[in-house]
Structure 1
Amino acid sequence: MEGLVAIISDYGLKDHYVGTLHGAIKLISPDVQIVDITHNVRPFDLVDAAVKLKWSYKYFPRGTVFLVLVDPDPTAEPIIVTTERFFVVCPNNGVGSLMFEEEPPEKVYRINADHYFISGEGNFRGRNQLAPIAAELSRLGSARHFGEELEMSKLKRFRLPQPTEVSPGVVETIILDIDHFGNIVLNLEYNGKEPLYAEVAGKRIQKVKSSFAGVQKGELFLSVNPEGYFQIVAYMASAAQLLQAKRGMKVRVVFQG
């Protein structure tokens, strides 16, 4: 039975890259299922890709091969990471870090089985090297065929700044992501405790709601996104534009002290 390959990249949809990526996978595994999680990661942005993978992997069935092709460092060697339930094919650049905090890696393999690669000129290793590996891996269901096992210490990982309680009831966090709608997603998980308000870019957002019901167009309020993180949103408008907010900016969320 053919498996499933789920792809995250910064290729965009304007050019032929995504189409030929699909073609390269289908050449090897014609019956494999392909899911495009997103191809609109910010170019070369590992944090953006890591966030998208973290918020996606848990909705896929056991055995899924995640093919993550955000690749700012051409010296990062291609690897396969296995977890209890999944495979991740990617450059060794830390892109799986946030997923691995929740889904611990079990083994890491350096990909050296270049006989699987598509020959040709150019440096499009996402399509020519990693995609064929993902396709074969989806068929075989075992990573040991594709290279040598590495010590776990060789797997590159990074951590994001964690929320900090700077005074009683006042938590300082950062903007983790700004989504397609301009919603400002904070690096602060909802734990059942409702905030009083948030402060960002010198402005205070005092309304806290669980839905858009009863909100005026352009009105800002705090809510919780589908993945369980606090967000600042504006009904039928971009909160990020209204607040001139950018990813990485500090935000204070105030709770009852």
Structure 2
Amino acid sequence: MEKIVALVSDYGLKDHYVGTVHAVIKSTDPEIQIIDITHNVRPFDVVDGAVKLKWSYKYFPLGTVFLALVDPDPNAEPVIVSTERYFVVCPNNGIVSLMAEEEPIESVYLITADHYFLEGKGNFRGRNQLAPIAAELSRLQNPSHFGEKVEKNRLKLFKLPPNVRVSDNVVETIVLDVDSFGNVVLNLPVDKPVRSVEINGKRIEKFLSSFSGVQKGELFISINPEGYLQIVAYMTSAAALLGVKRGQKVRVEF
């Protein structure tokens, strides 16, 4: 089995933080493959980190260790979350919530094996505590080496607002994400075209499966690569044109 550690963080790429996390993992075991999912989670935004983890985890091989380093609360306990196929090393702050809706949690371990931690290196637990644990876990594939098993209800999880069926053919949902292109991703998986989307008083009726023949700045509806409904403006930010942000309500007509 390949040893893989996959990183999600809000560290950005300007500073040295990501590089030193890589270095700690490689120092533990040079054979570990490190995959950077993203380091551009909005700073301190656990929900954004949870979305990025949700979009990505299912593409990874069995036994991958996800190292989720969005850590706004210094009092959040460091934990290992195990599913049937994967592990997540993270602060206990809800970042696994959306992944857990699709990939059921089997066990939770509170990390107590501090002899793996780096010493005397300042207040940077993503690098100094969680990175060496993730590296060792990728080798051993057994979280019981790193701490105490606790009840699954110890794990902090959040729920997004549920979709509401307004009528037989209308559903009210929310904006789940705005990606780097300004595409407005809704919290609504779909497998067929929809009739219209209404947000901020703007009604969009064009549904397209590709960008072929679309004019720059033209708004339309499509399905994102993960199967969720999205609003797109070709070569332009739909979010900026519509003045929307995550969490806003949207009406979808089928």
**Same fold by TM-score greater than 0.5:** yes
**Are 2:204 and 1:202 aligned?**
no
SS of equivalent to 2:145: coil
> Corresponding residue for 2:211?
212
> Scaled by the length of structure 1, what TM-score is found?
0.97
> Corresponding residue for 1:22?
22
- Could you list the structure 1 runs, at least 4 aligned residues long, displaced by more than 3 angstroms after superposition: none
> Corresponding residue for 1:237?
236
**Are 2:34 and 1:7 aligned?**
no
Please give the per-residue CA displacement for 1:44-83, whole angstroms capped at 9, x wherever unaligned: 1111100110110100000000000001111110000111
Shift of 1:12: 0.3
Please give the per-residue CA displacement for 1:67-103, whole angstroms capped at 9, x wherever unaligned: 0000111111000011111110001111101111111
> Corresponding residue for 1:169?
169
Moved more, 141-150 or 114-123: 114-123
> Corresponding residue for 1:226?
225
> Corresponding residue for 1:113?
113
Q: Distance in 2 between matches of 1:248 and 1:99?
A: 18
Please give the per-residue CA displacement for 1:173-229, whole angstroms capped at 9, x wherever unaligned: 11100001000000011043x211111111111101111012111100000000000
- The one-letter code of the counterpart of 2:60 is F
Question: Do the aligned partners of 2:220 and 2:231 also contact (CA within 8 Å) in 1?
Answer: yes
**Are 2:40 and 1:40 aligned?**
yes
> Corresponding residue for 1:67?
67
Shift of 1:123: 1.2
Question: Do the aligned partners of 1:2 and 1:29 also contact (CA within 8 Å) in 2?
Answer: no
SS of equivalent to 1:176: strand
Identity of aligned residues (%): 70
Q: Distance in 1 between matches of 2:31 and 2:2?
A: 6
Question: Do the aligned partners of 2:121 and 2:128 also contact (CA within 8 Å) in 1?
Answer: no
| Unpaired runs of at least 5, structure 2 | none
Q: Distance in 2 between matches of 1:195 and 1:24?
A: 48
> Corresponding residue for 1:185?
185
Shift of 1:120: 1.6
> Corresponding residue for 1:56?
56
Q: Distance in 2 between matches of 1:3 and 1:120?
A: 28
Q: Distance in 2 between matches of 1:247 and 1:85?
A: 30
Q: Distance in 1 between matches of 2:203 and 2:182?
A: 18
| Unpaired runs of at least 5, structure 1 | none
Q: CA RMSD in A?
A: 1.0
Q: Distance in 2 between matches of 1:11 and 1:82?
A: 24
Aligned counterparts, 1:138-157, within 5 A: 138-157=138-157
Question: Do the aligned partners of 2:218 and 2:234 also contact (CA within 8 Å) in 1?
Answer: yes
Q: Distance in 2 between matches of 1:123 and 1:129?
A: 10
Shift of 1:163: 1.3
Q: Distance in 1 between matches of 2:39 and 2:125?
A: 16
Shift of 1:165: 1.0
SS of equivalent to 1:56: helix
Shift of 1:2: 5.7
Shift of 1:169: 1.3
Question: Do the aligned partners of 2:79 and 2:111 also contact (CA within 8 Å) in 1?
Answer: yes
SS of equivalent to 2:126: helix
